[in-house]
């Protein structure tokens, strides 16, 4: 593997871990703030979760564009499925706060399962697993 691929891998991992910081920070903040502020912190945590689930749906658009560039009659499944996490996050936004975690887990797992038609796969760079 080239030095550029190693550097890219390190940068992507760093960004992925940085994306966890708001989840961890807001979760800890729920324990530290007065109970009067819990709804605001919980809403911020749910909003960040919705944006992450929506981002994961965008991965399917990337897969769809990749398939469309490689195949003449590529299936449109990925484009349609890429919208589902955003819709689930929107619906989840009006749900009771106690159901947010379960619905985000459902959104993340369904996004992962549908990435390659239900086949477990790893993101690869230059033929090597990315993570």
Q: DSSP code of 115?
A: T
Phi and psi dihedrals of 124, rounded to 5? -125, 150
Token pair of 112 as six digits: 């992962």
**CB-CB neighbours of 6 under 10 Å:** 13
N- to C-terminal Cα separation, the chain? 14
Arithmetic mean of pLDDT, 106-118: 55
User: For residue 120, what pLDDT band results from cuts at 50, 70 and 90?
Assistant: very low
What percent of the chain has pLDDT above 70?
71
Q: pTM above the 0.85 mark?
A: no
């Amino acid at each position: 593997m080239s030095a550029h691929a190693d550097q890219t891998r390190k940068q992507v991992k760093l960004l992925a871990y940085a994306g966890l910081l708001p989840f961890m920070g807001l979760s800890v903040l729920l324990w530290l703030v007065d109970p009067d502020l819990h709804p605001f912190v919980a809403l911020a945590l749910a909003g960040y979760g919705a944006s992450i689930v929506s981002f994961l749906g965008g991965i399917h658009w990337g897969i769809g564009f990749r398939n469309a560039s490689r195949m003449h009659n590529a299936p449109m499944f990925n484009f349609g499925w890429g919208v589902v996490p955003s819709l689930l996050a929107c619906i989840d936004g009006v749900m009771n706060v106690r159901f947010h975690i379960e619905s985000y887990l459902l959104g993340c797992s369904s996004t992962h399962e549908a990435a390659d038609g239900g086949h477990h796969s790893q993101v690869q760079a230059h033929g090597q697993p990315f993570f």
